Amino acid sequence: MAGVEPPVVAVVGPTATGKSDLGLDLAERLGGEVVNADAMQLYRGMDIGTAKLSLAKRRGVPHHQLDVLDVSEDASVARYQREGRQDLADIASRGARAVVVGGSGLYVRALLDRMHFPGTEPEVRGRLEERAERFGTRHLHDELARLDPAAALAIGPANTRRIVRALEVIELTGQPYTANLPEQVYEVPAVQIGLDCDRDVLDARVERRVDRMWEQGLVEETLGLLARGMGRTAARAVGYAEVLAMIRGETDEAATRAAIVASTRRLARKQMTWFGRDPRVHWLDARDPHVVDRALDAVAQAEATTAAPGAADEASRGRRTLGS
């Protein structure tokens, strides 16, 4: 149908499945530009620990939302949504195709889905953080369970930052935190390609990735970032948090490497759970030698769906899926 923009392509799924490579392949085939959706790759200097593609490995494909934050800053999903959507609009204005690549589920949803962000109130947040420090995170999690049981189930009792944010939103809006979570309704027409593979294979990939990061200088990179003043968000990133513990003398090298492997595997499973709940994701086997062609087939099917009269609304609600 004339005048209908082709859907944004998003490559999602667990870490270490090859999303960056597939994103580049699709961008080259579709005349696209990549928009990063990995929260930690937003940070300048966090390269080795996030497996960020170097400029030389980007094959000349323009990349956006990389290296836009200093490590002293806290990442903001609301800011990412605002700036990332501007990138999508700019890419479309150039007649190019946006290819979103990343495994940070909330960032992908914020970029593509109908999602609104309640404001923040430093006084409220400061008071909640003080209570967490004084009485423990479990105390706040129990309060969240009373006010919004669904949110408490979704947010682990050790995740202080998200618990504080949930309670802040509840206090500011008078609504459950879950009422402000994204709907599975596309604000930006898109097709999501999910990469996954056998758990044992993924675990082995994770272990090899950690070995490479260590050899490439993850410890030295972390020391350099520490000297620049790492903020809370950057310091909690998988890989960096474990190295920082070693720098403080809390663990030795062997234990640190094992901890990074374990944390990365847990992250991969959390990512799979997040994206696995979305029926709109078209899942592909990361080991399939024809994965690029299969992804292009999914994109073509999504384009046909978007162009069909009256089909766009159904697709955006997740009623029409490409498979799972």
For residue 199, what pLDDT is reported? 94
Going across the sheet that includes 190-196, the strands are 63-64, 32-36, 97-101, 8-12, 190-196, 281-285
CA-wise closest residue to 166 among 106, 225, 219? 106
Domain boundaries, the chain: 8-114+187-316, 122-180
Q: Mean pLDDT over residues 263-272, rounded?
A: 96
**Is 54 annotated as belonging to a binding site?**
no
Q: 309 Cβ partners below 8 Å, 6+ apart?
A: 1
Closest CA to 166 of 127, 116, 128, 109: 128
Which tens digit of pLDDT belongs to each residue from 86-114?
Answer: 999 999 999 999 999 999 999 999 999 99
Q: How confident is the model at residue 322 (pLDDT cuts 50, 70, 90)?
A: very low
Higher per-residue confidence, 290 vs 318:
290
CATH topology match: 8-114+187-316 vs 122-180: no
- CB count in 10 Å sphere of residue 163: 26
d(CA 177, CA 156): 14
Average pLDDT (142-149) is: 95
Q: Which tops the pLDDT comparison, 53 or 315?
A: 53
Q: Which CATH class is domain 8-114+187-316?
A: alpha beta
| 273 among annotated binding-site residues | no
In 10 A of CB 206, how many CB atoms? 21
Question: Residue 17, Cβ neighbours under 10 Å: how many?
Answer: 26
What CA–CA distance (Å, rounded) separates 321 from 324? 8
Residue type, 75: A
Residue type for 247, please? I
Whether residue 17 is annotated as binding a ligand: the answer is yes
Q: Is 105 annotated as a binding residue?
A: no
**pLDDT level of residue 309 (50, 70, 90 thresholds):** low
229 known member of a binding site:
no
Q: In percent, how much of the chain has pLDDT > 70?
A: 93
Q: How confident is the model at residue 181 (pLDDT cuts 50, 70, 90)?
A: confident
As a whole number, the mean pLDDT across the chain is 92
CB 27 within 8 A of CB 53: no
15 belongs to an annotated ligand binding site: yes
- pLDDT (0 to 100) of residue 310: 55
CA-atom Rg of the chain in angstroms: 20
pLDDT at 1: 39
Rounded to two decimals, the pTM is 0.84
Q: What is the pLDDT of residues 73-83, one digit of tens each?
A: 999 999 999 99
pLDDT value at 118 more than 90: no
How far does Cα 29 stand from its chain's mean position? 24
19 is an annotated ligand-binding site residue: yes
Decide if pLDDT at 39 tops 90. Answer: yes
Is the pLDDT reported for residue 323 higher than 70? no
Does the pLDDT at position 182 exceed 90?
A: no
CATH fold of 122-180 reads Histone, subunit A (1.10.20)
Q: Is 222 annotated as a binding residue?
A: no
**Is a pLDDT exceeding 70 seen at residue 308?**
no
Give the per-residue SS3 of the chain.
Answer: CCCCCCCEEEEECCCCCCHHHHHHHHHHHHCEEEEECCHHHHECCCCCCCCCCCHHHHCCCCEECCCCECCCCCCCHHHHHHHHHHHHHHHHHCCCEEEEECCCHHHHHHHHECCCCCCCCHHHHHHHHHHHHHHCHHHHHHHHHHHCHHHHHHCCCCCHHHHHHHHHHHHHHCCCHHHHCCCCCECCCEEEEEEECCHHHHHHHHHHHHHHHHHHCHHHHHHHHHHCCCCHHHHCCCCHHHHHHHHCCCCCHHHHHHHHHHHHHHHHHHHHHHHHCCCCEEEEECCCCCHHHHHHHHHHHHHHHHHCCCHHHHHHCCCCCCCC
